[in-house]
Structure 1
Amino acid sequence: MISAKSSLNRAALKGGVATFVIAILAIPGAALAQAVPTPETVATTTDEGTIVVTGSLIRNPNLISAAPVTVTTADTIQLRASNVAEEVLRDIPGVVPSIGSAVNNGNGGASFVDLRGIGSTRNIVLLDGNRIAPAGIAGRVDLNNIPLALVERVDALTGAAVTTYGADAISGVVNFVTKQDFSGVDLQLGTGLTEAGDGATYRADLTVGGNFDEGRGNAVLSVGYQKADPVYQGARDFSIFGRSTYTGAPSGSGTAIPSRFTGLRPIDPVTGLPSTNPAVANGNLQLDPATGTARGLYAPFNFNPYNIFQTPFERFNIYGAAKYDVSDSLQFYTRGLFSKNNVKTIIAPSGAFGTPVTINLNNPFLPAGLRNQFCAANVGAAGTYQARFTPAQCAAAAVATGPTDPNYRTVDTALARRTTEVGPRISDYSTTLFDYRAGLKGKVTDSVDWDLSGSYGESENRQTLQGYVLASKVRNTLLVNGTAANPVCQTADKTCVPINYFGPAGSISQAGAAYINGESTTTVKTSLAQVRGIVSGDVGVAIPGATDAIGFAIGGEYRKYKAQQRSDSLAKTAGELGGAGGAAPDITGGYEVKEVYGELIVPLIQDKPFFENLTLEGGARYSDYKVDAPTEPAYNTFTWKAGGTWEMVQGLKLRGNYSRAVRAPNIGELFSPQNTGLTNLSNDPCAGAAPVANANLRAVCLAQGAPSTSIGGILNPTAGQANATAGGNLELQPETANTWTVGAVFQPTFAPGLALTVDYYNITVKDAVSNPLPGDAVAACFGNLSAASAASPACLAIRRNPATGGLDGDPSTTPGLFLASSNLGRIETDGIDVTLNYSNDIGFAKLGITGNFNYTFHSMFNADVTAAGGGVSRECVGFYSVNCSFTGSLQPKWQSSLRTTLGFNDFDISLLWRHIDGLEQEPLDVVEQGSYLPAYSKIKAYDYFDLSGRVSVMENLSLVLTVTNLLNKQPPVVGSNAGSTTFNSGNTYPSTYDALGRRYAMQVNLKF
């Protein structure tokens, strides 16, 4: 479906794909086939017997990849019953789940991949070996836009590929390779449902392809539709109620019903009046609607039932490709991609999340008991009790007629009240992407080819926030005169509806809910323009001892990235949208890069004893970056790789690769302004009574902006979410990395059909573009308190709520933690990959076994929070915590997937075994935040089994049935504080473990 408002989209597709599809229909008796991509993109054998591997630019008949590549085939995708590409990649060992369909609070409407757990910005997603337009200011490709119906296989290349594909490929690339020379018509219809009867999925894809002009031309068109329904956390027993990771008790948000107010003194249980004890700090107390007074204990708001485990998703997509042989030595090719997808995230209702407000004491809804507490809420500078207003002043203010009355009084407080009357918060993300590519390729000689192509793509992501309460209107509705039966807003806004925030759930009228409710939009647009030229082949000369000629590739590339974010006034105003986190400022940025590169493959010794084939390869790329900024930052980078393969005897090959890689900072890292948003922190060192007994701690809390009256009464961040201020930095430089792999390939002659690979990988990123983790920022200040700590930069960088002393609240007044961007980070990871493939005829059936196994030794991150060093190296493999789930979900030491298939004449049956190693609480987290409840401090190893069957109903008709999570294994329960909000949701980690339960899927394939 092509949007009528986008003439550019229409023009892009009309110029290439549509022309060739019309050609198919216009030529009688045209044979059917699919387009051929550029030669460097396919890890398969071409008609000329030339092998081309993902990760290389050279076609060479004896090339064996020096770097490990994990392959997922179209058959696997079909048996997995996946709707989107992110679900396919989630099961590959060594891939750490990133943003995807199982992420609700933190999903921006796009899905990403995170190779090796070092961040989704450190790998590249390719379509047939080429980049496509990114989905946001971080430059990442949205996996929701990949046309799965036309994908033949997915190659995941481990290790740096920056010399081949450019910056960002430090951990590798994921290359979606489309079907080549497709001929005929392929209709796929699929649907799925959980055993609980929810989470329905639907899929329909139609692909038509064929040849024309006596085989000189070829074109294909694929159109698809996919849809997924939500699964609510309230529909699963283990997630109905939020649980504290530390105690196991019910937990939730302090923004609840009834309302909570700051600056109050608790009721003295003896006198029934506000306490006059100066040792009792002013609190953040919840109103008891029955008595009209605020007391110390409050019931947390259970937000789980509103949240979802599977985000609603809907997509329309079109993919078209074509080629035409102008002559025997010249070919024109083109490809067009269009996608329109919609993702909704649904979270608990909005409200006033610690919003600073002013309340007049003659407000007709204000209970007398609460009025008296407001009047008595103050402690003098010397610590002696001193009422804000005398009892006489308070009584006179209660009956004041309005602002002109000399007895009129107001009080300032912060309001926390969940507005369930408004309904849930819904973020609707609508993304439109088109990407068009065209090129010419031909031959210089019989062994040397050239390829010149250009492409342009745009992505637009429009976020519409619904159900959010506006802080400015909340303030209007709290300044009320008149009577409870006839209240009148004091504001000049004639549409204002007075609201009773002092009652139970339902006290906000329908008219009041409509008045404070607002809708806001933020739009992010990105574009990528590319020109690429390459000459590749062989030099026609072999060195002594070898039979094959030296292969080479040389080329140049130009890329221009642009991105902008535009928000309406509501989204740009910090704290205006209740519960939306920070503001969404306008962002404009871009950069361009010019590159030249080359690769060599040199066969050294061939067909000799112990040297069946010894081949070396190398590559280098020079890049010139220029950033679109007033200061015009610029930098040059040089990357290189060296590797080789040694086939000692038939069936045994050794391989290795070493790369010097770089990653240039992306537009978001460069251009995002400083902005206050949300991060995860369960325990605030200044919370509770600790600052009362510790003079150094008290001094630090006060230096960070906590009022003296809050000491002893500061609360931990509500729902474990603290404010944090961060942003981009135009002074950032490219990060550098050293990556290397070494391994072996076994294809023993005594076991026909068996192939086994074992590879060790090691990645070290220096000068990493990074932000301190919340635990790092807190530890830098509170890790070793002294008398001088209150004046230390690490402590003064933390800024507290001026009303409550906490680290949460209105972002316009509470910056919270300061997480500055810098090049001070360091990342290290290493591990072993093993792949197993075996196929054989065992008499009664054909047996196929495919296994992928990963063991990660280390995955360490050091943010180095001070310029002088001293940062903590945080090991996260095998552990979970808030700090260990910021770049992605869990990373167990051992992961594996093993598929066993038996093929018969008319059907086959396949069992997939997925294993996830056990994990436990991160040791540093024990020190920083305290021990988890013993039952929540460890996760045992998990095994999932998925059963699939494929039946040939007729010659052209097949049926695939899949049962995912065959044994209906429930996910581990670790509470709601064991990780970041993005990945720890519903008391578990739904991106890693199956929170949906047993699911059934059916797919019908019709081909002719």
Structure 2
Amino acid sequence: MRRTTLGNVSVSRTACAIALINALAFATPAFAQSAETEPVQQQIIVTGSRIASAALDSPNPVTVVGAEQIQSLGQTNVAQVLQTIPQNSAFVTDDNVGLGNFNVGAQLANLRGLNPFFGTRTLTLVDSKRFVPSTNGGAVDLNLIPSVLVERVEVVTGGASAIYGTDAIAGVVNVILNKKMQGLRAQLDYGVTEEGDGEEFHGALAAGTSFAGGAGNIVVGGEYSQSFGIGICSQVRDWCKSSYGQFTNTGFGSNGQPNFIIGPNALGAGASQTGVFAQFLNAPGVANMQFNAAGNALVPFDPGEYVSTPDISYFNRQGGDGGPVGPYDATRMRPPVERFALYGHLEFEVSPAFIPYIDISYGGRSSSNVQGSQGASLAVISADNAFLTPDTQQLLADNGGIAFFNRNTNNIVDQVNATKNTTFRVVAGADGTFAPRWNYGIYYTYGRNDQSQRLYGNQVTSFFGWALDAVIDPETNQAVCRQVLLGNPAAAGCQPLNLFGSNNASQAAIDYAYRTLPEEFRFEQQVVAASVTGDLFDGIGAGPVGVALGAEYRHESGDVSHLGLPYYNDFLLTYGNDFSGKSDIYEIYGEVSVPLLQDSALGRSLEVDAAVRHSWNTSTSGVTNISRTTEATTYKFSLLYDPIDEIRLRASHSRDIRSPGFRELYYGQVLGAGNPFASVNNPFNGGAPDAATLDFGGSVLLTPETADTWTAGIVLTPFPRFRASVDWYQIKIRDAIGAIGQQVIVDSCFAEQLLCDRIEANDDYTDITYIDNNLTNLNGFTSRGLDVELAYSLPLGGDSVIDLRTLFSYIYNLKVDAGGRVIDYAGQSGPVASFGDFNTTPKLTAQAFLTYRNDAFTAVLSGRYVGKGRYNATYIGPDEEGYSPTAINSISDNSVDDRFYTGLALTYRFDLDDGTSSFELFGTVSNLLNVSPPVAPGGNGYPTNPVYFDTAGRSYRMGVRVKI
């Protein structure tokens, strides 16, 4: 069965898309050439090794994106640069906020899709140095790096812990800033979508000059951007109005249809925006009755079709009278974001032996995200409720005296997350030479990130329950909260809440039951580092033996507080408890590069490289004062072999680590019994729901994740101006940090008598009261794939050149060991899930650009392909082997269609009379053909996957640059 595609734009199939990708290709300064015969420009890179080398000399795949490409594509954010690299899975972006309350407005690097939701396995550096994290998971917000000063971005895929330390399991993103800039540069641009939304104003200014006869240099710059976001999906995009969802077949096993069904018209199950008495838990005559708009009469409720848990209001049904699904009808597709980034650099060469410098940066980001509010789910309504009509009161009195009530409150309460981040960083150091062919570097870094979050309109469970339980005060004959009438001091100030009907709740009652949840987070990082590099000796005739030695000390501390709010843990949605902690990391490292052959009968060159790092990490909780010290040794071996000039073979193996991050070490949260996010279905009691207390958070006792990475590749340069490379990789992660999940814990105890020590219950476990779901080292990951790159530069005569480049990434395994069951998630491009330990990815993604340029004019035609995928790797659809509609994991369609996107960017430069100044006009069109995304509902709340598929539609940007 083939479901309907969102939108009405036809899309090419895989073969056509790949043909177009190959016909296009990608231009970048790292490989862009003039009309001369030089094959490929070799740019010195600094990422992936402490011993600098040319880009073609790296044993690991390196993608270099230069300032020329950034400008030619009209990119205004470092994150946009990474989105042109297929190996990056852009999970945390403005387009994928959805229902999330974390990282709103942030842009984070995520190579291979291996980042956990609250952590990072991709190390982000600025000028080869660590940058203070802007999330409590340890990731760096790319918004805070001014793009106007970016000289290039170097991306190394593959382990690099022996070079840089923790977090570099999937690879390294190194942003190199232009610290030698001369003159002044300014840019002003404006972006908007075809629909007239998504507006963004962006401006940047940078200036640099040398002084003291060239001995000193100063560079300052900054940028500011304000984007206004995109509205509620079902209101602003036609492809979203169908509200696709995943449903459970209530007739499974008897009607010949699969267990899961993908279809349109998804509505909230068992709840409306006037209020419904639940379908199955209430007596006949009460069940499935909803209030009319005025709230003064009951009318039948059409429950629709397909739902797994009929009386739980946040599951989907198809059709009927259910309330709108929050993600489609209450959440922006893209939140508004305001950001700024400032940077300054000063250096002075006292002598070649002593070149001191100082860098100062300061940036900020603020954003807000409207979300679906928390309504009533199986709330108890008593027959004497003050807002019920006499007829309804009598109906409830005749049927047990109470009724279970569901209500969608999106039409009366706005739940809004507002996040503000500011980051300050200073680096002071010195570089120099101290002997022929020997250099040193020392530096100190201090960085601080302050984050302030507010979740407005968040339900306080006790206040909500007290306000909903309103009765008539016999003395005043007015509605009053029952708990006030009973003299409960904790209920002082309670305002009776009328949720019957569409809009009968008073603002005073809403303000009482829904409050503001605050969180303040501060993280500080200090680094002291020293290194030396040089040639140890002249070698054995093939070239000098290079060596790098160094040591680093890093102190990191953080504190999360909630301003002492007395009812903090009573919010329905919480950020967790107050927590704090610190880590002290000591590291020493060394690297050696040994040339073994040079112009030999055995080959043109052969070079081996080895690196090792040892670290001591002491982590101490600021709450419990429990401390833990771990040691780890990481290493890397690599080989480069050129049998002939046109062929290069490269291979590497590394042992890498990821130490537990701040949140993973110190976070703590307890959800009380009755919180819907803590409940489990108890198999010891026939699968009945159990209201257990759930304890989940971090642990100082966690140990580092370890990974073994292997790469092997070939680089071909058979003729001038052409380069091709193919690289195979395998990353195997052990002791991955994750949570088991409360349902898995209970099911494992029932089925295999495993993990029972994490449960507190009565003797026969029929009444579970407590579950320990704190993080632990448990999972294993194996990711395998191929990276392919093609680059060619074709001179046309004069100063005209056509540049072509193509990047392919093919993932053929992403195996996850989920407690003994191994699942291969490679190719899953269905719904996006929050709080996961990794991100699923399509098997094939590709990026290509075809660039024409001459002295004044540049035109870039781009193509991006996202291959066909699976909706869910654990489901089986009709087109897959082993499908049966009677299988518990059967689904009506388990495929996600592919997409091919095109773009166009034009730049024209006008030279001014002095010959050194110019101004440029530029314009870009993204998603040139206005291709709508494929169906992939669920996850963060979209009917598609916004990580890989464009949701904004055709978008424009235009602007001007000035260089003096």
| TM-score, length of structure 2 as denominator length | 0.82
Q: Cα gap change, 1:353/1:140 in structure 2, threshold over 3 Å: closer, same or farther?
A: farther
313, 320, 323: which is aligned to 2:347? 323
- Residue 300 in structure 1 maps to residue 296 in structure 2: no
Within 5 Å, give how 1:496-507 maps onto structure 2: 496-501=494-499, 503-507=500-504
Using the alignment, how far apart are the partners of 1:457 and 1:776 within structure 2? Answer: 40
Return the alpha-carbon distance in structure 2 between the equivalents of residues 267 and 699 of structure 1: 23
The answer to whether the 8 Å contact 1:554/1:597 transfers is: yes
1:945 Cα deviation from its structure 2 partner: 0.3
Distance change in 2, residues 1:571/1:941 (3 Å):
farther
3-state SS, counterpart of residue 139 of structure 1: coil
Quick check: 2:830–2:896 contact (8 Å CA) kept in 1? no
**1:952 is matched with which residue?**
909
- Equivalent residue for 1:646, pick from 641, 644, 665: 641
1:567 aligns with 2:583: no
Partner residue of 1:74? Answer: 67
CA distance in 2, matches of 1:911, 1:705: 57
- CA deviation after TM superposition for structure 1 residue 916, in Å: 0.7
**Aligned twin of 2:931:** 969
Provide the secondary structure at the position in 2 that maps to 1:135.
coil
Q: For residues 810-853 of structure 1, give each alpha carbon's deviation from its aligned partner in whole angstroms, at most 9, with x where no partner exists.
A: xxx998x8644221210100111112221121237310112211
Query: Is contact 1:876-1:884 (8 Å) kept?
Result: no
Secondary structure of the structure 1 residue equivalent to 2:417? strand
Counterpart of 1:97? 90
Q: Which residue of 2 aligns with 1:998?
A: 954
Q: Partners in 1 of 2:566 and 2:928 — Cα distance?
A: 44
Aligned: 1:259 with 2:275: yes
Deviations 1:934-990 (A, max 9, x none): 3xx3122210001111111344110111000000000112333xxx32xxx321111
For the pair 1:179 / 2:178, whether they are aligned, the reply is: yes
User: Deviations along 1:98-120, whole A, 9 cap, x unmatched?
Assistant: 21111222242332221112215
Shift of 1:267: 5.5
Residue 351 (1) aligns with residue 375 (2): yes
What is the aligned partner in structure 1 of residue 189 from structure 2? 190
**Higher RCO (CA < 8 A, seq sep 6+):** 2
Select which of 602, 616, 623 maps to 2:608.
616
CA shift, 1:670, in A, is: 1.5
- Greater Cα offset, 848-857 or 883-892: 883-892
SS of residue paired to 1:442: strand
- Structure 1 pair 420–924 and aligned structure 2 pair: CA distance change class (3 A): closer
Residue of structure 1 equivalent to 2:585: 593
**Root mean square deviation of aligned Cα:** 3.4
Write out per-residue CA displacement over residues 342-388 of structure 1, whole angstroms, 9 at most, x where no aligned residue. 0211112343455x66x5543331234543454455xxxxxxxxxx4
Shift in Å at residue 88 of structure 1? 2.4
Q: Is residue 942 of structure 1 aligned with residue 928 of structure 2? A: no
Structure 1 residue 731: Cα displacement: 1.9
The 2-side partners of 1:142 and 1:131 are apart by 12
After the TM superposition, which residues 517-916 of structure 1 pair with which residues of structure 2 at under 5 Å, given as runs? 517-543=514-540, 545-546=541-542, 548-568=543-563, 573-577=568-572, 580=573, 582-629=574-621, 630-676=625-671, 699-702=685-688, 705=690, 726-748=696-718, 751-772=719-740, 780=748, 789=751, 793=755, 819-843=773-797, 845-864=800-819, 870-878=820-828, 880=830, 886-887=836-837, 889-916=839-866
State the 1:521 CA deviation.
1.3
1:414-445 CA distance string (max 9 Å, x none): 65433345442111100010111010122120
| CA separation of 1:874 and 1:648: change in aligned 2, threshold 3 A | closer
Q: Relative to structure 1, is the Cα distance of residues 55 and 959 closer, same or farther in structure 2, using a 3 angstrom cutoff?
A: same
Q: What's the offset of the Cα at 1:762?
A: 0.8
Query: How far did residue 465 of structure 1 move?
Result: 1.7
Distance change in 2, residues 1:555/1:88 (3 Å): same
For residues 874 and 75 of structure 1, the distance between their equivalents in structure 2, rounded to whole angstroms, comes to 39
Contact 2:73 2:860 survives alignment (8 Å): no
* 1:773–1:186 distance in 2 versus 1, CA, 3 Å: farther
Distance 1:134 1:780, change over 3 A: same
Which residue type is aligned with residue 344 of structure 1?
A: S
Task: Give the whole-Å Cα distance in 2 for the aligned partners of 1:997 and 1:63.
Answer: 37
* Contact 2:594/2:609, CA 8 A, preserved across alignment: yes
In structure 2, the residue matched to 1:119 is 115
Structure 2 distance, partners of 1:915, 1:591, is 42
Label 1:737 to 1:697 Cα distance change in 2 as closer, same or farther (>3 A).
closer
The aligned amino acid for 2:110 is: D
Classify the secondary structure of the residue corresponding to 2:822. Answer: coil
- The answer to whether the 8 Å contact 2:576/2:669 transfers is no
Match of 1:922 in 2: 872
Distance in 2 between the 1:286 and 1:538 partners? 81
AA aligned to 1:705 is D
State whether structure 2 residue 510 is matched by structure 1 residue 513: yes
SS of residue matched to 1:87: helix
Q: Residue 583 of structure 1 contacts residue 675 of structure 1 at CA under 8 Å; is this kept in 2?
A: no
For these two proteins, the number of residue pairs brought into alignment is 849
Unaligned runs of 5+ in 2: 1-41, 247-260, 304-320, 877-882, 913-917
2:687 partner SS = helix
Name the aligned partner's letter for residue 239 of structure 1.
C
Contact 2:530/2:552 (8 A) holds in 1:
yes
Q: Distance in 2 between matches of 1:791 and 1:372?
A: 49
Shift in CA distance, 646/950, structure 1 to aligned 2, threshold 3 Å: same
Aligned partners of 1:639 and 1:795: how far apart in 2? 34
8 Å CA contact retained: 1:745, 1:756? yes
8 A contact 2:386–2:470 mirrored in 1: no
Distance of 2:525 and 2:745 partners within structure 1: 36
What percentage of residue pairs aligned between the two structures are identical?
27
Deviation, structure 1 residue 236:
0.6
Letter in 2 for 1:631: I
TM superposition shift of 1:195: 0.3
Distance 1:83-1:371 versus aligned 2 partners, 3 A rule: farther
Alignment CA distance shift 1:593-1:285 (3 Å) = farther
Contact 1:241 1:302 in 2 (8 A): no
Does the aligned pair in 1 maintain the 2:267–2:325 contact within 8 Å? yes
Matches within 5 A, 1:204-215: 204-215=203-214
**Aligned equivalents of 2:162, 2:103: Cα separation in 1:** 31
Provide closer, same or farther for how the CA distance between residues 685 and 940 of structure 1 changes in structure 2, counting only shifts above 3 A: farther
- Write the distance in 2 (CA, Å) between the matches of 1:992 and 1:619: 36
Contact 2:829 2:945 in 1 (8 A): no
Q: Which whole-Å CA distance do the structure 2 matches of 1:571 and 1:536 have between them?
A: 56
User: Is contact 2:218-2:345 (8 Å) kept?
Assistant: yes
Q: Is the 8 A contact 2:464 2:514 kept in 1?
A: no
Structure 1 residue 609: Cα displacement: 3.3
Q: 1:530 to 1:673 in 2, by over 3 A?
A: same
- 2:477 maps to 1:481: no
User: Any conservation in 1 of the 2:831–2:871 contact (CA below 8 Å)?
Assistant: yes
Matched, 1:457 2:447: yes
Secondary structure, counterpart of 2:510 in structure 1: helix
**Contact 2:680 / 2:691 at 8 angstroms: preserved in 1?**
no
**Is residue 53 of structure 1 aligned with residue 65 of structure 2?**
no
Structure 1 pair 324/518, CA: closer, same or farther in 2 (3 Å)? same
Structure 1, unmatched stretches of 5+, are 1-48, 275-282, 378-387, 390-410, 687-695, 708-722, 782-787, 807-812, 865-869
Contact 1:447–1:540 (CA<8 Å) still a contact in 2? no
CA contact 1:188–1:1006 (8 Å) conserved in 2: yes
Tell me, in whole angstroms, the C-alpha distance in 2 between the residues paired with 1:966 and 1:50.
32
Displacement after TM superposition at 1:661 (Å): 1.3
Distance 1:760 1:79 in 2: 31
Contact 1:294–1:370 (8 Å) recurs in 2: no
